[in-house]
Amino acid sequence: MNRQELKNKILQISNKLIADKGFICAIDILCELDYLNEVQIKDWRFGKIQYIEKVCGKNLGTLNFINKTIKEISKDRKLKASWTAYNKFGKGIKTRLIFSKTRDENIENAYAIHYIDTERIKELKNNK
C-alpha cells in the first residue's frame, strides 16, 4: 500500500471511529489497519512487551507517517487534542507504558494524544 492509499485508509478509519466513539487515537487506528492486534495490546498493557513499536508490523517511517496523518486529519476536522496516560495494568506499581524504543517525547506524545470530536461526544452521551 502506497502513502496515498494508506492516507485514504486512515481517513476512512478515522471517520468510522469518530462516528462510533467520538475520538481517534493512534492505537485504535493501528488495530484497524491490522498492524496491531488485541493480544499484543493486552500484553503491552500488562508489561509483557517493552514498547508497542516492537510488535507493530511496520517500519518506523510508516508509523511516523500514520501519526502525522492522524494529526493532519484532527487539524482539518478541528478535533480537540487530549493527552492520555497509558499506564501498566495489573498488580504492582502503575508505571507509564512506552510506545517507542527511543522514548522520544514527541513520538510518545504522538501516540498518547487522543483527538476528540466534542460535538459527537455530546451526541453519543445524549443517545444513551
pLDDT in tens, the chain (128 residues): 799 999 999 999 999 999 999 999 999 999 999 999 999 999 999 999 999 999 998 999 999 999 999 999 999 999 999 999 999 998 888 899 999 999 999 999 999 999 999 999 999 999 86
Domain residue limits, the chain:
3-126
CB atoms within 10 A of CB 13: 19
Please report, for residues 1, 8, 46, 64, the alpha-carbon distance to residue 53 in angstroms, rounded to integers and kept in the order given: 19, 22, 15, 11
What pLDDT sits at residue 107? 95
Number of Cβ within 10 Å of residue 81's Cβ equals 12
All three cell numbers of 45: 498493557
Q: What pTM value is reported for the model?
A: 0.92
Q: Are 111 and 54 a contacting pair, CB within 8 Å? A: no
